[in-house]
Amino acid sequence: METLDKDLRSIQEVRDLIKKAKHAQVKLAAMTHEQIDAIIKAVADAGYEHREVLAKMASEETGFGRWQDKVIKNAFAAKQVYESIKDMKTVGILKDDKEAKLMEVAVPVGVIAGLIPSTNPTSTVIYKTLIALKAGNSIVFSPHPNALKCILETVKVISEAAVQAGCPEGAIGVMTVPTIQGTDHLMKHNDVALILATGGTAMVKAAYSSGTPAIGVGPGNGPAFIEKSANIPLAVKRIMDSKTFDNGTICASEQSVVVEACSKEAVVAEFKKQGAYFLSAEEADQLGKFIMRANGTMNPQIVGRSVEHIAKLANLDVPAEARVLIAEETRVGRNVPYSREKLAPILAFYTEDSWEAACERCIDILNGEGAGHTMCIHSENEEIVRQFALKKPVSRLLVNTPGTLGGIGATTALAPALTLGCGAVGGSSTSDNISPLNLLNIRRVAYGLMEMEDLERKEESQSKTACSLPEDKEQLISMIVARILEQM
């Protein structure tokens, strides 16, 4: 009975939030560029000002990651995302081509449902609020229950700042009684125009099957290939920096390392030098039992946890200074835990005879899990990078940069974002790093350039040209020979 009451309260709350968000969105849609920009600047400033307290709240409530790294993520979501979108044209006339007589007008989608994960709760709220408001949309958040307090506090902080800057009340809403039934009602409500889903596979699938247009992301499982021409110490540093950042909770973080046999010894030595601990076969088997649950999903007990915590969980004796745990692996598959996504400081290590074999191994890993998301290559050989770019089933191929920070656009020129599209191969509606441009429609105003008679004359002219033959015999023979050669 208590569960039913909670579901009913959650559903009613969702209805109230959507009603307010719809009224607020009508007002947002009538605002100017300058008014919208003043609002998003206020949101960014508030998120940045409270970056540390929100990071500590998230770390304490969820137990995931390191609060110091969550400060960086909050700062990234507030400042770097804001800087990347502040000059975007997202309101009114976007383009007016006088010659082609074509005008493009920005149209907000309306009310957005924002699903928030427990791994990156506060930073994702800041980011999604900024890109939604910038495109003239309101947003209603469904928080992960395990991160409810820090999400509610983040919404409170940025909402107050937004309203003071002229944002309509109700434009930023959040469920305080999150339930599966309530979230389902949010996603299926007729007045919700779009779902922006970040989280686990089951939740993203639910968003896509809701009947409401959705932008969702699949799991990450990016391998990192250290090609023999790479600066090995720097490549290892980047991977270690990335995999230890917030204890690996960002889905673009590396999950496997692939090397060529000729450089294995040097790469292993460098990893050990920089604090990685290579598990014995027995230790790897022991830890492997804790990575995945019986149903094939990631064990939440390891997510975002430190090496020390994970070692205790698996009853392993590892050095106190160990930063990352690495297991050598030769297999890929659903029942091979090290070949799967591990949002923790754990890596698989594969050795192949050549870069071509390494290329195929990376494809196997991605097709097993993580297709469409992200992978890294560390190399000074541009041709090999090109070959990887042509073949890999990913939306982001990151070169000589940490996967975590490169994928979200912090250390690369990709659009700064905390929702990373995986394209059709990854079951996503887009391969973009999601920005305000993904959250608006474009109305095209097209003036007539021809009449019916013009089209008829054009067709007649093209038909005569196609059928006409040259009068000169030598020219005719040359043309026939050329066409024969083309068909050979």
Are the C-beta atoms of 144 and 451 separated by less than 8 Å?
Answer: no
Are the C-beta atoms of 216 and 113 separated by less than 8 Å?
Answer: no
Residues 6+ apart with CB under 8 A from 6: 177, 179
Residue 167 among the catalytic residues? no
Report helix angle 121-134 to 33-49, nearest 10. 170
**If we measure between CA atoms, which residue out of 244, 223, 220 comes closest to residue 351?**
223
Q: In angstroms, rounded to a whole number, what is the distance separating the alpha carbons of residues 145 and 172? A: 18
Q: In angstroms, rounded to a whole number, what is the distance separating the alpha carbons of residues 353 and 261? A: 5
Residue in 150, 251, 362, 422 annotated catalytic: 251
Rg (CA), the chain: 26
3-state DSSP helix/strand/coil % of the chain, to nearest 5: 50, 15, 35
Q: In angstroms, rounded to a whole number, what is the distance separating the alpha carbons of residues 398 and 430? A: 18
Query: From residue 237, how far is each of 127, 234, 241, 242, 274 by CA, in Å?
Result: 28, 5, 6, 8, 7
Q: In angstroms, rounded to a whole number, what is the distance separating the alpha carbons of residues 9 and 5? A: 6
Q: Where are the alpha helices (DSSP H) in 209-293?
A: 232-244, 264-273, 281-291
Write the DSSP symbol of residue 139: E
The number of beta carbons lying within 10 Å of the beta carbon of residue 2 is 6
**If we measure between CA atoms, which residue out of 321, 364, 366 comes closest to residue 345?**
321
Query: From residue 355, how far is each of 44, 310, 339 by CA, in Å?
Result: 44, 33, 19
**Residues classed as catalytic:** 251
